[in-house]
């Protein structure tokens, strides 16, 4: 089994010490300039806006939520088709009716209302949003959580560092980094965590493990000379699984241990419990948690279906931000809320909205993002496809990577030797508390 976790990386700061010295034509000052070049390279590698974030929570609105019924209402305009807006804690920003709880924490949220994409197919658009890259037949890119876990050191503990709660059809994957970086998938936190409870008695479990040791010893005797049985991937995964099964940290998944008042604040829904579990998992040291709320693909009966989804999203999203702030975790945790694309400005004959990648919304909070602001704008008449100040998917990923202390231009070397940057997007510095 191949272990992709040692995937090489390099920085694309395309000048070396030798190149700098040659370009400047220096001689005696070489030592000083060599030191200067080293400092410049290190500065480029660690470019950041302040103390970096350490975790990411992705609230994934599966199916493509309508921007007009969520984060970008145009009340009174024909494209609203009756959707009303509400005021928020930031007077100049409005949200669609139904997001009253989120409106109260608008000072923590930055809205990007001008996201553009070239993908209008669900599967391709999900890939695009979760990885920051468009699909290509030559490479499978890692999702944002997989990339984060690969780039940042393990903080210790027994829990998986990348978790997907209520995973949809296309959960976050490790891509060319390998299956070790796939998200650990679990369902409604009201139930048991899958695959961590032995199906046999403790005595029988020990007998099975003893038998497995015999198989491992046989494998070790017949291994290739260049393989170290102590570090092969299957043994590492087995040990991690055994530690997880016996770990007291599994309690982070158990939201019933939270106070009733806290559980009620998130809402009595699977998504609400998932958001509460995300908080507890981040507290326990998990790097990335993805929580999915499906049902946004409203090709018919758009308003009624969106109203139902918004009633689930609103308390959970707001409670998560409040609790992260109260636990002093919001500055170290980036929260991204959005889906694969938006919905058309006009209703179709079935009272639905169809796919619209030409100007939709995502919400960002935490991790050095300056809340209470809006970037970009869509046409209130629905005539212009191109929004003001368009933002690409890669730009969002580059910005999140920057908040995590990563250099988006840093390159990963795939198992076949191909260099790929963490992101080809631009950093949206206007969104950050310290643009730098």
Nearest Cα residue to 69 out of 310, 362, 319: 310
Helix (H, G, I), strand (E, B) or coil at 246: helix
Residue 240: the pLDDT is 56
The 10 Å CB-count burial string (b at 16+, else e) for 66-97 is bbbbbbbbbeeeebbbebebeebebeebbbbb
Please return the burial class of 197, using the count of CB atoms within 10 Å of its CB with bins 0-12, 13-18 and 19+. Answer: exposed
Tokens read off for 180: 């070790």
Residue for token pair 């009174």: 76
Distance CA(391)–CA(361), nearest Å, equals: 10
Residue 47: the pLDDT is 42
Residue 20: the pLDDT is 38
Residue for token pair 């997880």: 244
Please return the burial class of 228, using the count of CB atoms within 10 Å of its CB with bins 0-12, 13-18 and 19+. Answer: exposed
Residue 44: the pLDDT is 40
Give me the tens of pLDDT residue by residue for the chain, a chain 436 residues long: 334 344 555 544 433 333 333 334 444 344 434 444 444 443 443 343 457 999 999 999 999 999 999 999 999 999 999 999 999 999 999 999 999 999 999 999 999 999 999 999 999 999 999 999 999 999 999 999 999 999 997 766 789 999 999 998 999 999 999 999 999 999 999 998 876 666 666 677 666 667 766 666 666 565 555 555 554 555 555 555 555 555 667 899 999 999 999 999 999 999 999 999 999 999 999 999 999 999 999 999 999 999 999 999 999 999 999 999 999 999 999 999 999 999 999 999 999 999 999 999 999 999 999 999 999 999 999 999 999 999 999 999 999 999 999 999 999 999 999 999 999 999 999 999 865 5
Distance CA(386)–CA(70), nearest Å, equals: 20
Nearest Cα residue to 315 out of 265, 371, 255: 265
Q: In what helix (H) or strand (E) does residue 34 lie, and over which residues does it extend?
A: helix 30-45
Helix (H, G, I), strand (E, B) or coil at 238: helix
Q: Is 97 left (phi over 0), alpha (psi -120 to 50) or beta?
A: beta
């Amino acid at each position: 089994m191949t272990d992709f976790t040692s995937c090489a990386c390099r920085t694309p700061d395309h000048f070396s010490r030798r190149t700098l010295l040659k370009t400047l034509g220096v001689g005696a000052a070489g030592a000083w300039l060599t030191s200067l070049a080293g400092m410049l390279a290190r500065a480029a590698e660690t470019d950041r806006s302040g103390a970096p974030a350490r975790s990411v929570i992705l609230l994934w609105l599966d199916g493509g939520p309508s921007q007009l019924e969520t984060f970008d209402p145009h009340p009174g305009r024909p494209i609203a088709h009756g959707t009303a807006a509400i005021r928020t804690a930031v007077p100049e920003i409005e949200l669609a009716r139904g997001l009253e709880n989120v409106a109260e924490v608008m000072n923590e949220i930055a809205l990007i209302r001008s996201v553009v994409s070239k993908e209008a197919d669900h599967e391709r658009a999900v890939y695009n949003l979760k990885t920051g890259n468009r699909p290509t037949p030559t490479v499978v890119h890692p999702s944002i959580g997989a990339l984060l876990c690969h780039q940042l050191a393990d903080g210790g503990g027994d829990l998986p560092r990348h978790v997907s709660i209520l995973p949809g059809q296309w959960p976050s994957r490790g891509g060319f980094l390998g299956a070790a970086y796939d998200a650990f998938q679990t369902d409604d936190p009201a139930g048991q965590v899958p695959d961590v409870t032995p199906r046999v008695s403790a005595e029988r479990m020990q007998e099975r493990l003893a038998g497995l040791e015999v198989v491992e010893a046989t494998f070790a005797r017949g291994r290739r000379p260049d393989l170290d049985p102590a570090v092969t991937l299957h043994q590492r995964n087995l040990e991690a699984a055994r530690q997880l099964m016996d770990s007291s940290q599994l309690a982070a998944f158990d939201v019933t241990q939270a106070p009733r008042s806290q559980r009620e604040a998130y809402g009595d829904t699977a998504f609400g419990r998932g958001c509460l579990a995300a908080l507890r998992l981040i507290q326990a040291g998990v790097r990335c948690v993805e929580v999915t709320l499906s049902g946004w693909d409203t090709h018919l009966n758009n308003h009624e279906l969106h109203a139902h989804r918004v009633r689930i999203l609103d308390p959970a999203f707001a409670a998560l931000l409040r609790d992260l702030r109260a636990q002093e975790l919001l500055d170290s945790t980036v929260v991204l809320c959005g889906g694969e694309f938006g919905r058309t400005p006009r209703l179709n004959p079935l009272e639905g909205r169809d796919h619209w990648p030409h100007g939709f919304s995502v919400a960002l909070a935490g991790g050095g993002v300056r809340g209470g602001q809006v970037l970009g704008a869509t046409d209130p008449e629905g005539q212009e496809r191109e929004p003001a100040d368009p933002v690409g998917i890669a730009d969002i990923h580059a910005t999140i990577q920057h908040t995590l202390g990563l250099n988006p231009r840093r390159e990963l070397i795939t198992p076949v030797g191909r260099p790929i940057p963490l992101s080809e997007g631009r950093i949206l510095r206007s969104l950050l508390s310290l643009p730098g």
